[in-house]
Structure 1
Amino acid sequence: MDITIDTSCSGISQLALGVTHVDDSLVYPSGNNDLAAIENVKSMLKNGMSFQNTHIMSWGLPDPWPNPVDPDPTDWSALDSRLKLSVDAGNTPVISLDEAPWWMKGRPIAGGKTEVLTESQEWDSIAYGTRILDNKMGDWLHLVQRVAERYMVPPYNVRYFQVWNELKGYYNPGADKYDFTVSPGNPNAISARHGYTYMYNQVYNTLIKVAQSKGIPPESVKIGGPYVFMDVWTAKDQSNPSIVTKPYGTFDQRSLDVVRYWLQHKAGAGFITVDSSIENREERETGALVADPFVAAAKFADIVRWVRSLDPNLYPGSTTLPVWLSEWFAYPRNQIVDANFDNALKACTMIEFLKVGGAVALAWGGSGDGSTDLGLWTDTYVGGGQPQPWYFSAKALKDDFAPGVKLYNTTVSAPAKVEALASDQHIMLVNKTATKITVKVQQKEVELTPYQVKVIDYAH
């Protein structure tokens, strides 16, 4: 099998990998966490990651403003500690402005009514399907302001913000689509009718005002949305099919509509952020992919291609704003757990994302899901905090294919079996098969074991 490298520059890498903290696994003392394991993970964050993202509450963090009687948030301690992880590691910190205190939230239900979240429901699953109430938008923006005032300045110096999370709470069951417009809803009523882009624009303007008040150049503050999950269906007779059809399935029109509308009506943005999974909508129950996983792994690159195909005159920023993956899931849940397979699939996913100009990709948690997604490292219990094979590949992408590195085109004689990524000094090879393969690179034979990811130096 031959791999040919075209040494004329094909592009520049923009890829930077990071992780979103989704639990208290790096808190000590807490539960069964082990200090030595935590220190191991902190070292891996420093050496292998570029970004760390945290929500302002939930996902291992308490509510900073649980009592509506208080005029301001009352407890920053946990969020301070979470962001200090990024500062100590020398990573770039990101804050996701999502979730919110229980008393600010509700959700639309049948009949045009609104169900208001109660204090007892704050940590129930229902809370993750709620949005800010129309008449509580001012309180939400006050919280956003206080977050920005605290964390835009030293020692945190946060400049990157994601707005909300997967449009949670913005799905309207009556309309069978997202509420994503610039409508303010009914600001004088206890209702959940405003559109996502309205909320995004209010948050954007609030963040920019805080930056200006702190003497921070507004252009240095990067704010991203719409953070929508890009649904794909296996069935061709789905209710909302788009014309974007790939070997692994058809994209849902509703997700595409969110991105296009947001691009047209946003007050401003520093990046576009979305998320998805190699599993299609129908496949989430079983994890049984119709397509080969390595074929489905192209989904994230295809999202970038679709965004870049939009007319920038109609959709400002579609061809210029960096494209982020706020979450990305590359593992089939019915797959026998195999660390090398997991590594190969994730490496191929990121190589394809990198090749089309993808920017930041944030892993949802560092230790996977504890079953078929092995993540970057093992749990932080006694004896844990150990790197998985994917960590070493992620670190190689950081070390050898960082933003600014020139990329070369590669041609693989059997692309279904091997993936290749080349710069002027290194080539990353991924064996997509369960058998040993020998490839020839620049007249040199390289042996790859089953599902091996290997980086080699080469002279050109």
Structure 2
Amino acid sequence: MRRWRLAALLGVALAIAALVVALADTRPDSASTAGTTRDGARVHGTPAPGPHAGDPDVGWGFTHTQFSADQGSPAATQRAAKLLAAGDGLPQNQAIMGWGADNPEPVKGHYDFTALDRRIDLMRASGAAPVITLCCAPDWMKGGRAGADRTDWSRQALETAPTPGHYADYAALAATVARRYPDVRHFLVWNEFKGFWNDAASRWDYEGYTKLYNLVYKALKKVDPQIMVGGPYLGMDSVDPRQDDASTVLRGPWGALDQRVLDAFTYWNTHKAGADFVVVDGSSYTKDDDLLPDEFAATDKLTAVGRWVRQQTHGLPLWWAEYYVEPADGDDDRKGWTEPHRVAVQAAGLIAMVRGGASSGFYWNPEKEDGPDCPGCLWTPTGGADGGRALPMDGLLTRFARAFPPGTRYPAVPVAAGDASGLRVLASDRTVLVVNTLDRTVATQVDGERIELAPYEVKWLGRQAARATTP
């Protein structure tokens, strides 16, 4: 993510012990609490296959960031953990280093998975489909010094990619992670091409990324051929159409894709060793934080990008690893909109991704450590005893994931003439999601039902056909 918190999660007590299993000692010379795999690698805990273990799709979920439900007040973390457990196995994603995880291999061959174990346990306890993002890299793989006490957590250091001489070491680390968590069957390779920029050519170093990707892909498939691997996790940046780097192929009222991004994607797609699904990330707004022509119409970019990607990859399942519809400040704070406004634009963004062919996506959960406010968060900060309570974004995401899982059929539904331009509508055979994009009340008819929507209201309806066949 462009706006992230950089400090690693260090020495945080686990407050949801009733919901998770005991942590294993991760030192190389220690015994595992759960035995070993056939090749002698240690396995953490007692993993069981999670949801979607054999599928290239997992559905709609969220990514854990620096602060999550494994830290803070015991009462708050337990409350948040119960919220997650009630979310019908909402898919969850975690990076192996940063965003709440420590340096996993501070010295070559010496591992520290304590923090990552804690996050994986949280996922398991809530019945989630667990996903791991293979980012970022230990210091010794990118020209820094080895040692946990020497890890450089600055943004510049964390965004540095492994040097080419250490690509194989990173692939070996990825394989170690896969063996440790055999119930994690979906892996994203790297994050937003961090560190893969060719200064001399003023373009992405797509050759370097693709070499790393291919090594990681092969290493994971050697661990288990059934592991699902996706890339390239490119930020699909858009610009003002008048800029020199603007694409002439992929553009619309929302702007134009940066041609250098499309070039990088095309190279990876042509030279990849394989992929079980394709991963992108991006925002509805431009690199200059412009919402063109407005915040709702800007989400059409997500549809256009999705359709282009699906065409290039001949229909590979499409994941949005991150998606943004509201510009934030440098601290990842979102303060510009009311919560109904925010939820409405987020709902429009989800609809736009589905229309572009996406079947899985992860909301970047901007959790805070403490405080009374947390705009855009899924739950209130767990630093205080009253935290861990559901916020409106949790309700939207949980309901959307439940109503529109992978494989959903999306029939058209009738909307009264004159109102369609102000509404965003998505329907399955049983459910209709209606979003009022206007800052005024709208009375209309959707799928044969008369409804009234308050300004920016998100409303869920049962389908007429489903109601007619219900006993």
TM-score interval, normalised by the smaller of the two chains: 0.7 to 0.9
Q: Which amino acid is the alignment partner of residue 426 of structure 1?
A: T
**2:212 counterpart residue number:** 199
Q: Is the 8 A contact 2:107 2:146 kept in 1?
A: no
Distance, in Å, in 1 between the alignment partners of 2:327 and 2:168 is 42
Q: Distance in 1 between matches of 2:180 and 2:308?
A: 37
Which whole-Å deviations, capped at 9, do the CAs of 1:370-428 have from their partners, x for residues lacking one?
98951322222322222222221222212222223332113543333111112222211
Please point out which of 436, 439, 443 is paired with 2:444: 439
8 Å contact 1:272–1:321 — kept in the other structure?
A: yes
Aligned-partner Cα distance in 1 for 2:457–2:428: 19
Q: 1:210-252: CA deviations, max 9, x gaps?
A: 11xxxxxx1x211000011011002412335342111010100
Q: State the 1:205 CA deviation.
A: 0.6
Task: Note the C-alpha offset of 1:15.
Answer: 7.8
Give SS of 2:323's match.
Answer: strand
Amino acid at match of 1:146: T
- TM-score (normalised: structure 2): 0.79
Structure 1 segment 112-191 matched on structure 2, within 5 A: 120=150, 122-152=152-182, 157-181=183-207
What is the TM-score of this pair, normalised by structure 1? 0.81
Q: Is the 8 A contact 2:232 2:280 kept in 1?
A: yes
Runs (4+) of structure 1 exceeding 6 A deviation are: 368-372
- The verdict on how the C-alpha distance between 1:355 and 1:389 changes in structure 2, with shifts beyond 3 A counting, is same
How many angstroms does 1:102 deviate by? Answer: 0.4
Q: Which has the higher contact order (CA 8 A, sep 6+)?
A: 1
Assess if the C-alpha contact under 8 Å between 2:106 and 2:151 holds in 1.
no
Q: 1:21 aligns with which of 52, 58, 64?
A: 64
Judging changes above 3 Å, is the alpha-carbon distance between structure 1 residues 266 and 337 closer, same or farther for their aligned structure 2 residues? same
The verdict on how the C-alpha distance between 1:117 and 1:337 changes in structure 2, with shifts beyond 3 A counting, is: farther
What are the superposed Cα offsets for residues 319-358 of structure 1, whole Å, 9 maximum, x if unpaired?
A: 2211101111121448733010111001111012123321
Per residue, is there more strand in 1 or in 2? 1
8 Å CA contact 1:234, 1:290 repeated in 2: no
Using a 3 Å threshold, how does the CA distance of structure 1 residues 20 and 342 change in structure 2: closer, same or farther?
Answer: same
**Structure 2: unaligned runs, 5 residues or longer:** 1-56, 329-333, 466-471
Deviations 1:35-69 (A, max 9, x none): 2222232233233352111111111211122134x
The whole-number CA distance in structure 1 between the counterparts of 2:318 and 2:98 is 25
Give the residue type in structure 2 aligned to 1:102: D
Matched, 1:408 2:411: yes
SS in 1 for 2:251: strand
Q: Name the SS of the counterpart of 2:406 in structure 1.
A: coil
Show the 5 A alignment for 1:146-295: 146-152=176-182, 157-181=183-207, 195-211=208-224, 218=225, 220-283=226-289, 288-295=290-297
The 5 A counterparts of 1:42-121 are 42-48=81-87, 50-68=90-108, 72-106=109-143, 120=150
Contact 1:426 1:455 in 2 (8 A): yes
What amino acid does structure 1 have at the position aligned with 2:64?
Answer: H
Q: In the TM superposition, what is the alpha-carbon distance from 1:366 to its structure 2 partner?
A: 5.3
Contact 2:92 2:131 in 1 (8 A): yes
Q: What is the CA distance between 1:117 and its match in structure 2?
A: 7.0
What secondary structure, in the 3-state scheme, does the structure 2 residue paired with 1:406 have?
coil
Deviation at 1:368, TM superposition (A): 7.8
Q: How does 1:276-355 map to 2 (within 5 A)?
A: 276-283=282-289, 288-310=290-312, 318-333=313-328, 336-355=336-355
Q: What is the aligned-residue RMSD (CA, Å)? A: 2.3
Provide, for residues 283-316 of structure 1, a one-character-per-residue CA deviation record: whole Å limited to 9, x for no partner: 2xxxx53420001112222111111333xxxxxx
CA distance in 2, matches of 1:346, 1:58: 26
1:418 aligns with 2:423: yes
* C-alpha distance in 2 between matches for 1:80 and 1:294: 39
Offset of 1:118 from its aligned partner?
8.0
- Count of residue correspondences: 396
Paired AA for residue 106 in structure 2: P
